[in-house]
Amino acid sequence: MKYHAFTPLADIGLAAPAVRALNGAGYQTLKEVANASEAELASLHGFGPNGQKRLLQALADAGLRDSVGTKLTD
C-alpha cells in the first residue's frame, strides 16, 4: 500500500493499543512520527515490535525513511 506523509497512524494497520500509544505521545500522522527514534517508540507502552515493523514499512512507503528505517533527508 502507498502512504503519504499526512496519512493518519490509525490508517496504516496498527493494532489499537499501538495507535493509542502513538497518539498519546503526540503523534497523529506519519510525518509527525518520522523523526522519532526507534528507542523512543519502543519505550511507548502498547507499541511493540510488530507495530514498529509496520510503522517503519509505512514510513518507507511514504518516502520518509528507507526500508531499513534510516531517516531520509528533507
Spatial distance between the Cα atoms of 38 and 40, rounded to a whole number of angstroms: 5
How many residues are given for the chain?
A: 74
> CA triplet 34, 69, 61: central angle to 5 degrees?
70
Q: What CA–CA distances, in Å, run from 50 to 4, 29, 73?
A: 21, 18, 25
Pick the CATH number of 9-61 from 1.10.3470, 3.30.460, 1.10.150, 2.60.40: 1.10.150
Confidence grade of residue 67 (pLDDT, cut at 50, 70, 90): low
Helix (H, G, I), strand (E, B) or coil at 29: strand
> Which pLDDT value is given to residue 14?
97
Domain assignments of the chain as residue spans, ordered by start: 9-61
- The answer to whether residue 58 scores a pLDDT higher than 80 is yes
The string of pLDDT tens digits covering residues 6-55 is 999 999 999 999 999 999 999 999 999 999 998 999 999 999 999 999 99
> Which pLDDT value is given to residue 38?
87
- The answer to whether residue 69 scores a pLDDT higher than 60 is no
